C-alpha cells in the first residue's frame, strides 16, 4: 500500500510540475534559440527570416491556427526535432541537444505521462504564453 501511495503522490504532482514551468526561463531559451528567425515577439520577422526559403511561422498564432487550442505535444515535437538524432527536414534546426537535462513529467493530453526535458517544457510554456 505504501508504494501505491508514493506513486499516487508522485503522479499527483505531475500537473503541478507541468503547469508551473518557468515561463521566464522559457523566454530566455526563446531569445537564444528562436528569435533569430521568429523575431523578438515571435511574429516570424527575425533578422535571419529574409534569408530563408520558407518564412518562419508566426509563433503568436499557433493556437489560432489550431482552432483556439495550443497543441503542446506537437509543438514540443517540432522544437525537439521529431526524432532525436535522425535527419531533420525543413529550415528549422533540431534543437534537441540544447534541450537535454533534467526531466519533468508531462501529461500529454491522452492520459500518458511522459518524462520531458525541463527546458523544452519551459520553452513550450513561453510559446503558449505569447498566443494572441
| pLDDT tens track for 17-57 | 444 468 999 999 999 999 999 999 999 999 999 999 889 99
Helix and strand counts by DSSP (H, E) for the chain: 7, 2
Domains and CATH numbers, the chain: 21-129 (1.10.760.10)
- CA nearest to 66, candidates 3, 128, 6: 128
Rounded CA-CA distance 119/100 in Å is 7
pTM of the model: 0.79
Which residue would you say has higher pLDDT here, 132 or 8? 132
Rounded CA-CA distance 64/131 in Å is 8
Output the DSSP codes for 25-48.
HHHHHHHHHTHHHH-TTSSS--TT
**Cβ contacts of 78 within 8 Å, gap of 6 or more:** 92
| pLDDT tens track for 108-129 | 778 889 999 999 999 999 999 9
Judged against a pLDDT cut of 60, whether residue 88 lies above it is answered with no
Maximum average pLDDT range among 12-21, 43-52, 91-100: 43-52
Amino acid at each position: 500500500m505504501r508504494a501505491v501511495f508514493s506513486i499516487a503522490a508522485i503522479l499527483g504532482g505531475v500537473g503541478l510540475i507541468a503547469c508551473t514551468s518557468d515561463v521566464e526561463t522559457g523566454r530566455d531559451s526563446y531569445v537564444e534559440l528562436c528569435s533569430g528567425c521568429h523575431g523578438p515577439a515571435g511574429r516570424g520577422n527575425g533578422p535571419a527570416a529574409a534569408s530563408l526559403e520558407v518564412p518562419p511561422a508566426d509563433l503568436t498564432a499557433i493556437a489560432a491556427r489550431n482552432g483556439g487550442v495550443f497543441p503542446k505535444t506537437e509543438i514540443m515535437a517540432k522544437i525537439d526535432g521529431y526524432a532525436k538524432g535522425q535527419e531533420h527536414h525543413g529550415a528549422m534546426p533540431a534543437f534537441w541537444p540544447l534541450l537535454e537535462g533534467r526531466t519533468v513529467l508531462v501529461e500529454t493530453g491522452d492520459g500518458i505521462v511522459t518524462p520531458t526535458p525541463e527546458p523544452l517544457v519551459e520553452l513550450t510554456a513561453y510559446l503558449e504564453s505569447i498566443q494572441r
